[in-house]
């Protein structure tokens, strides 16, 4: 088949400026290209050519200001059999006009209306054009079906994953090497326990709650540091009022908090290896944060909130602790104290998570599941 992946216009692909969607496409497109003719459309970036062939994939990039019109022109001329558009349901109607005979797949990474702001009438019409709607979590799937009755049969949950080769578990030789490297960079002693936050520094991500919890942890758990990896937006180190408040709170904890600011995608695995416990204190209706997959790949125990799709990866297993009182810093401290006091328990949780990504939550499984869906929808269309 001739397949087009249309990236959202929030960032370039591959993710030279970060982005979960951009990373996902950059990893699965070469796997799909082993059996199909694959073209990826994304916005331009000075670090990337406007046209290239790499990994068996054709990459075509347009300036953001003219991105979607140019994509439609390419789709109209390209005779694609299947088109997969990421997180832009509003594009489906025009894509259907550009390629009336193609199968249209919509990959949803956020909630329609809540995050993806759309007119309700327009959204309903566009979604009817999709042959398949893929969602990153059951939470997103249920929300979508509730808002658009009749989509049940063509909505499918497709959990994503990681490239396990890019993450070194903390007990591996490479993991130990990375651990020493990052800890030396930030003067973190070998016997200090490190809590890790990775994400955008905005209030809905909840980093302030870990800082509040740290006040109690610093009194009860001995030598513990908090490593905060991220900035207010991908590849953007600009200050913000929220970041200033975080730093003011960190001042009260003396030298127990380290801010790294923005870290390139390829460096992120090293920061996981340098840490002991990963925390996702998300406060919003998180579709399902990909940092959970990354933490499991690095062999870290996960502490996350019962928000949106985040708990779905950890039902009935020992890889994570779920915080239901997600607005209460004391709830974080109550979960973290036992993990800090019992490294063996933390290790067991981390190994359970690593096993899960090796078996299930990896990009090869994502590509295989997509292939099956492509074949199923194509066969149905031919009947």
Series of mean pLDDT values for 10-residue runs along the chain (383 residues): 96 93 97 98 97 97 98 96 97 96 96 85 90 97 94 96 95 97 96 96 96 87 90 84 95 93 93 98 95 98 96 89 96 95 96 96 97 90 70
pLDDT of residue 172: 97
Q: Give dist(CA 98, CA 206) in Å, integer.
A: 42
- Report pLDDT for 358: 96
| pLDDT for position 383 | 64
- Burial of 156: CB neighbours in 10 Å, binned 0-12, 13-18, 19+: middle
Domains of the chain, first to last: 2-161+362-382 (3.40.50.2000), 164-359 (3.40.50.2000)
Order across the sheet with 51-54: list the strands. Answer: 51-54, 57-62, 37-43, 2-6, 82-86, 103-108, 132-135, 155-157
**This prediction's pTM:** 0.94
For residues 312 and 298, what is the distance between their CA atoms, to the nearest angstrom?
19
């Amino acid at each position: 088949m001739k397949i087009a992946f249309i990236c959202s216009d929030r960032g370039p692909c591959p993710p030279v400026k970060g982005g979960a969607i951009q990373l996902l496409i950059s990893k699965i497109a070469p796997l799909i290209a082993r059996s199909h003719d694959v073209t990826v459309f994304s916005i331009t970036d000075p670090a990337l050519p406007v046209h290239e062939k790499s990994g068996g994939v054709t990459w075509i990039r347009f300036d953001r200001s003219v991105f979607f019109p140019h994509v439609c022109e390419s789709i109209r001329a390209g005779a694609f059999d299947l088109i997969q558009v990421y997180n832009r349901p509003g594009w489906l109607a025009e894509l259907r006009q550009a390629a009336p005979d193609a199968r249209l797949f919509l990959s949803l990474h956020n909630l329609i209306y809540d995050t993806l702001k759309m007119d309700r009438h327009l959204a309903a019409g566009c979604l009817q054009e999709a042959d398949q709607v893929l969602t990153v979590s059951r939470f997103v799937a249920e929300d979508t079906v509730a808002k658009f009755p009749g989509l049940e049969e063509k909505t499918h949950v497709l959990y994503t994953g990681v490239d396990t080769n890019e993450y070194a578990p903390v007990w591996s030789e490479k993991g130990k090497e990375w651990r020493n490297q990052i800890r030396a960079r930030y003067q973190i002693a070998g016997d200090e326990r490190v809590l890790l936050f990775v994400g955008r520094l905005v209030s809905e991500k909840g980093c302030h709650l870990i800082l509040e919890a740290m006040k109690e942890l610093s009194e009860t758990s001995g030598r513990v540091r908090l490593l905060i990896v991220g900035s207010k937006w991908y590849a953007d180190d600009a200050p913000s009022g929220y970041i200033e408040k975080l730093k003011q709170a960190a001042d009260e904890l003396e030298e127990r908090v380290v801010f790294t600011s923005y870290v390139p995608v390829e460096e992120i695995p090293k920061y996981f290896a340098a840490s002991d416990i990963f925390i996702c204190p998300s406060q919003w209706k998180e579709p399902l944060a990909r940092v959970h997959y990354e933490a499991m790949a690095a062999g870290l125990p996960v502490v996350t909130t019962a928000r949106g799709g985040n708990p779905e990866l950890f039902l009935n297993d020992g890889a994570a602790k779920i915080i239901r009182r997600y607005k209460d810093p004391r709830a974080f401290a109550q979960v973290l104290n036992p993990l800090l006091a019992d490294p063996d328990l933390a290790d067991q949780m981390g190994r359970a998570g690593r096993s899960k990504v090796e078996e299930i939550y990896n990009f090869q499984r994502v590509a295989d599941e997509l292939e099956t869906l492509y074949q199923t929808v194509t066969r149905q269309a031919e009947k």
